[in-house]
Amino acid sequence: MTETQTSSWRIAQQPAERTKVAVIGAGVMGAGIAQVAAQAGHPVALMDVRDGAAQAAVAQIAKGLAGLVDKGRMTAQQRDALLERISPASQMSELADAALVIEVIVERLEPKRELLQALDALLPPDALIASNTSSISITALANGMATPGRLVGMHFFNPVPQMKLVEVVSGAETRPDVAHAIEALARLWGKTPVHARSTPGFIVNRIARPYYAESLSLLQEQAGTPAQLDRALRGAGFRMGPCELMDLIGHDTNFLVTQSVFNANYGDRRFVPSLVQQALVDGGRLGRKVGKGFYGADLAEAGAAEPIAPGLESLPPVSLVGQGPLLDGLGRWLTHKGVDFTRHEAVAAVGGAHWTGLLVGDVRVPLTCGRTAAQWAHESGHADWVVMDWPVAPDRVEALAVACAPQLSALGRAQMAALWQALGWVPLTLRDVPGLVVARTVAMLVNEGADAVWQGVCDAAGADLAMKLGVNYPSGPFEWLAQLGAVPIVELLERLFETYRSERYRISPLIQMRRWGAA
């Protein structure tokens, strides 16, 4: 059989009821994929090398569907028809008539490669083969296949029936019509496909690394508690903070993905694993599945947020200083909360840099640009400085990270507390580290998304869609870039690099081009 024998594929040309789909691997992901394929009308063969695993998976699918029937989201007849289309298979020969086989086995190269080569020899020329790998190179998986052009990545997200995103991943040998056929199929299955080139982590697992890495780095610096970091990022619109999300995913799983991306990128420091997470894994604190991780079983932690100081009876004069999208949003929130303020386009430079933020009585409150409160105080000769995190979604903020200069006066603390009370926000007082929480996390997510596009992994629209649908981010990296502008992101990353001298904070050429108006 040769690569040129067929240019059409049964899975794309024939009705679902006439095109059999096989799923190898009856774990949570495999069962979910089987359910989605059967729901679209395909007869499905579900196979697993573990005795009874496929049958158990079908029983679990039935249990989940019963819940949908009870809620009125599916009729009993629809449930029964769907289940009738899923058949456990016990040996590979039963898959020979499949139009598409999706492997969902252990996330290791050699077992997957061995299985894919066996499928390649078994299946007819007009059948497609897909891998649900989350991080292994499709190019590497195809090596050794007689017809590598029909292999494509089809990366689903858990829980498969609910999550809309499917990353369609092309390796070096994947034929364009194969990727197009799988994209069309994903749409028919009610999914939203996003095309990616096969590089470490693809789109979501690559761009998402900073969401975990920045908080892990902050924990290593003892900048705050897991609860403080989670609370700050939920205030930016994320459904879960990074620490509680890692507890949910499992630290062993999250750590392995980070290691995989790090090793696949030949030790690129942007993806370096964390000693904090290594310690959790070594200590068996794997997260919710064992009842302990960053949090205990009740997910509670005391002392997540503490007021800076008691507020004043009346709010001191408030001014907005500088200009920019973040400041405009802050001004709208001040107006919404009924806080009177004046506006100054700029004030005298401090240490060669202008600051943007709030002037509250005698307290300077710059939006973080990577300078610490101590640095602002030292270079200005003025003690009352409080750096505030980026309020990227002021109407969602319940608590916002701040860092105080060492010699902040009692009056300054009281003035800040009065403002925060007027804004309806709780100050999360962190160690005085550059970039705080939201700013450095969002800046790094934008930077990683920009690098993925710069390197041809995906396009900007695909990056935004993947991050919103795959991991439920409130915005995609390029939406944040459009909202914030390139200048504050570049400035923050430059200051982080100055502080840490790590290539982790090198700036994507695409963001630099945006800064110069050249892209």
Q: ∠159-164-167 over CA atoms, to 5°?
A: 95
How far apart CA 387 and CA 367 sit, in angstroms, is 6
How far apart CA 270 and CA 148 sit, in angstroms, is 32
Total number of residues shown for the chain: 519
Packing angle, helices 28-39 and 76-84, rounded to 10: 110
Packing angle, helices 438-454 and 477-484, rounded to 10: 120
Coil, helix or strand for 417? helix
Catalytic residue set:
134, 155, 167, 205
Strand order in the sheet with 318-321: 342-344, 318-321, 357-360, 363-366
Give bridge partners of residue 151 from the DSSP assignment: 129
Longest dimension (CA), the chain: 83
Cβ atoms 368, 223 nearer than 8 A? no
How far apart CA 480 and CA 184 sit, in angstroms, is 29
How far apart CA 167 and CA 183 sit, in angstroms, is 9
The CB-based long-range contact list for 104-109 (8 Å cut-off, 24+ gap) reads 104/23, 104/24, 104/25, 104/27, 104/29, 104/30, 104/33, 104/132, 105/24, 105/25, 107/133, 107/134, 107/135, 107/136, 107/256, 108/136, 109/136, 109/140, 109/141
Nearest to 457 by CA among 440, 486, 477, 481: 477
How far apart CA 318 and CA 372 sit, in angstroms, is 22
Backbone angles phi, psi at 388, to 5 degrees: -115, 150
